[in-house]
């Protein structure tokens, strides 16, 4: 049975540009972006969305995973995903693992 989960945006490769992948797409998922803006005082939404995707991911990583404890459901999902991919010790609160 083929499954396409539209809620979490999991698409097959045949969906071309709609199939998003990589750590920056994971971090800029709309739930995390909304959580980021709940505490972001240093950047406006217009400035944030003008940044390249990797810089948006860096902003979210720093705000939600380095400077804060990632306890929300959406943050826990990222931690679980990165841990299952074997991307190092996330408890160190260090630089974003860019190898996925």
DSSP 58: H
pTM of the model: 0.78
Q: What is the pLDDT of residues 41-77, one digit of tens each?
A: 999 999 999 999 999 999 999 999 989 888 899 999 8
Q: Rounded to an integer, what distance in angstroms lies between the CA atom of residue 96 and that of residue 93?
A: 9
Name 31's Cβ contacts closer than 8 Å, sequence gap at least 6: 74
């Amino acid at each position: 049975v083929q499954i396409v989960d539209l809620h979490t945006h999991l698409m097959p490769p045949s969906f071309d540009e709609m199939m998003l992948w990589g750590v920056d797409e994971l971090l800029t998922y709309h739930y995390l972006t909304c959580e980021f803006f709940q505490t972001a005082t240093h950047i406006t939404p217009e400035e944030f969305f003008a940044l390249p995707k990797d810089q948006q991911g860096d902003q979210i990583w720093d705000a939600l995973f380095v400077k804060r404890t990632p306890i929300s459901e959406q943050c826990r999902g990222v931690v679980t995903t990165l841990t299952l991919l074997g991307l190092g010790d996330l408890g160190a609160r260090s630089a974003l693992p860019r190898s996925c």
